[in-house]
Structure 1
Amino acid sequence: MKKEVSEQRAITTYKQGELQETMDVIVAEAPLTIFVNGEEFATMVCSPDHIEEMVIGFLASEGIIFFYREIQNLDLDEEGGFAYVTLHKKASLSSETHSKRFIGSCCGKSRQFYFHNDAKMAKTAASTVSLSPEQCIALMNAMQEESTAFHDTGGVHNAALCTTDDLLLTRMDIGRHNALDKLYGHCLLHRWSVRDKILVFSGRMSSEVLTKAAKIGVSVVLSKSAPTSLAIDLAEDLNITAVGFIREDKLNVYSHHDRITAKGAYHV
């Protein structure tokens, strides 16, 4: 049986000086343990939807696979909270490979902060796609309007892949990384090209989020919230345009400003 992404719970609310009994919509949280070739690899908590995509995207993000075709079989026990993945190859699941810092000789640039699997999977953006501030704001508004789970519960992160004018795919999850992995998994599963696509994200733009974006392969990341200093360093290094604080009619461009143009009239 597939789990629901939200559920009704009885609560007590305080409003206008009074305590009242009412019902509220609460976001669901479920554990998922992933086994790869019979070996336990990771356990995460997530919103119980688009689990197949999340597993595929997570394995690719961790450097276990590069393409969906490397997966021989993927069985989901969504009620029990298990995913069983069989690959066509042996997989290195060493904790050292997936947790040890990679110190590279990059002339002091930010790539030295990657984990081993990040250094292997992150891509330097090569797209020349550009968009106006008005398009950035419109895409953020469109993603927010489409998120019924957020409107119902207020407890999820949202992410979307877009063209300069339209949403192509939206995913949500209680975990911001999970939402991005669901997008990544969908792209791998359906062989989508993302080079000229734009990533729109509801949460803070941390270095981990920026690295996820680089693994997916986008060249522009739009966020409703703030970036971190390391995220900006990574964006500069990876040729990614990072735009934050997209709210109402305002935004800030933090890296590779040339992709954000005012009515196409000039490049910063």
Structure 2
Amino acid sequence: MNNHMKGQLKIIKYDSDNLFETIDIAAMEYPITIYVDDEEFATIVCSPTNLQELVIGFLASEGMIRHPGQILSIDIDENRGFAYVHLKIKQSTNKEFFSKRMIGSCCGKSRQFYFYNDANTAKTILTNHLMSIHDCFKLMNQLQEDSIDFQQTGGVHNAALCTNDNILFSYSDIGRHNALDKLYGHILQNKFSVKDKVIIFSGRISSEVVLKISKIGVGILISKSAPTTLGIELANDLGITVIGFVRKQKLNIYSHPERIIEAENLSCTEMKE
């Protein structure tokens, strides 16, 4: 397990009528404040790993940049919790286009998706990529098995970019949005093609999560958790296949079932009946 992801705590534990002192492992929580061209942009509460990927992915998700080539420099002061980003062409951080806000590690303060930057960066996904239900279970099982951080702390979310057969790379964070931003940052930094790729995810599928998937450009999102109604409405609008509750050989297909081989001839109406 990454030592930057965990901390040791002395606790009192009750187990089967026994009360005793022991050492437990907990996920670390770390705030980082991002400055863009010397103006404070946002503070993110996150896991203190892969901070450069997080900052790049977050700025791209927020519409501040489209690709890392727009960044002149990025300096991260891990000890003090600051990231200083300078862009090649300075952009306004005026609240007319961006909202300066605290991004919590879990739900936090909700971000509305009708901001100017979301309207300009969200993409409708048109991929014809297909996968099977068996592929969904196989990838979810692999994500669970590989997540040592979660197994030891129970306090992190995971996001992975995959082919139908394998996980290509994954990131963990105490915040589900942060895990996706780290994934996005890696994709952008490495100019990685997302054509015919899938995202496996551990968190709830909210409208914010669907927007991030749209901006990344992936057409299939698979999660072990639940969606929200607004998340599904947005997924239908943006052409994203959302699969949730992938657990114990069961799953729910909520939108665009045509990309799942066994369901491609069924409409959502038919599947509900």
Preserved contact between residue 260 and residue 267 of structure 1 (Cα < 8 Å): no
In 2, Cα distance between equivalents of 1:233 and 1:266: 19
Preserved contact between residue 3 and residue 78 of structure 1 (Cα < 8 Å): no
In 1, Cα distance between equivalents of 2:175 and 2:239: 26
Q: Which amino acid aligns with 2:236?
A: E
Partner SS, residue 93 of structure 1: coil
Q: Which amino acid aligns with 1:189?
A: Q
Partner SS, residue 119 of structure 2: helix
In 2, Cα distance between equivalents of 1:93 and 1:6: 34
Name the CA shift for 1:122/1:150 in 2 (closer, same or farther; >3 Å). same
Runs of 4+ in structure 1 deviating by more than 2 angstroms, as ranges, are: 112-115, 265-268
Preserved contact between residue 257 and residue 264 of structure 2 (Cα < 8 Å): no
Partner of 1:104: none
In 2, Cα distance between equivalents of 1:131 and 1:31: 38
Q: Tell me by how many angstroms 1:127 deviates.
A: 1.0
Partner of 1:191: 191
Q: Tell me by how many angstroms 1:98 deviates.
A: 2.1
Q: Which amino acid aligns with 1:129?
A: H
Partner of 1:5: 5
In 2, Cα distance between equivalents of 1:240 and 1:83: 32
Name the CA shift for 1:190/1:152 in 2 (closer, same or farther; >3 Å). same
Preserved contact between residue 125 and residue 195 of structure 1 (Cα < 8 Å): no
| 1:156-198 superposed Cα distances (whole Å, 9 cap, x missing partner) | 0111110111101100100111000000000110001113211
Q: Which amino acid aligns with 2:155?
A: G
Preserved contact between residue 37 and residue 90 of structure 1 (Cα < 8 Å): yes
Partner SS, residue 4 of structure 2: coil
Of 265, 268, 272, the match for 1:267:
265
> Tell me, which stretches of 5 or more residues in structure 1 are unaligned?
101-111
Preserved contact between residue 126 and residue 195 of structure 1 (Cα < 8 Å): no
In 1, Cα distance between equivalents of 2:237 and 2:139: 25
Partner of 2:122: 122
Q: Which amino acid aligns with 2:265?
A: H
- TM-score w.r.t. the length of structure 1 is 0.91
Q: 1:55 and 2:77 equivalent?
A: no
Matches for 1:8-23 after TM superposition, within 5 Å:
8-23=8-23
Preserved contact between residue 58 and residue 185 of structure 2 (Cα < 8 Å): yes
Q: Which amino acid aligns with 1:14?
A: Y
Partner of 2:219: 219
Partner of 1:92: 92
Q: 1:155 and 2:155 equivalent?
A: yes
In 2, Cα distance between equivalents of 1:157 and 1:205: 12
In 2, Cα distance between equivalents of 1:266 and 1:26: 43
Partner of 2:247: 247
Q: Which amino acid aligns with 1:66?
A: R
Preserved contact between residue 125 and residue 218 of structure 1 (Cα < 8 Å): yes
Preserved contact between residue 37 and residue 86 of structure 1 (Cα < 8 Å): yes
Q: Tell me by how many angstroms 1:203 deviates.
A: 1.0
Preserved contact between residue 113 and residue 208 of structure 2 (Cα < 8 Å): no
Partner SS, residue 136 of structure 1: helix
Q: Tell me by how many angstroms 1:132 deviates.
A: 0.6
In 1, Cα distance between equivalents of 2:205 and 2:67: 26
In 2, Cα distance between equivalents of 1:3 and 1:82: 20
Partner SS, residue 34 of structure 1: strand
| 1:4-53 superposed Cα distances (whole Å, 9 cap, x missing partner) | 11011100011111211000011101110111111111111100000000
Percent same amino acid among aligned pairs? 54
| 1:115-164 superposed Cα distances (whole Å, 9 cap, x missing partner) | 22111111111211111111001111111111111001000011111011
Partner of 2:64: 64
Partner SS, residue 221 of structure 1: strand
Preserved contact between residue 29 and residue 47 of structure 2 (Cα < 8 Å): yes
Q: How many residues align?
A: 254
In 2, Cα distance between equivalents of 1:165 and 1:97: 40
Say which is worse superposed, 151-160 or 114-123, in terms of deviation: 114-123
Q: What root-mean-square deviation, in Å, do the aligned CA atoms of Structure 1 and Structure 2 show?
A: 1.7
Preserved contact between residue 130 and residue 259 of structure 1 (Cα < 8 Å): yes
Q: Tell me by how many angstroms 1:113 deviates.
A: 5.4
> Tell me, which stretches of 5 or more residues in structure 2 are unaligned?
101-111, 267-273
In 2, Cα distance between equivalents of 1:50 and 1:99: 24
Q: 1:26 and 2:26 equivalent?
A: yes
Q: Tell me by how many angstroms 1:266 deviates.
A: 5.7
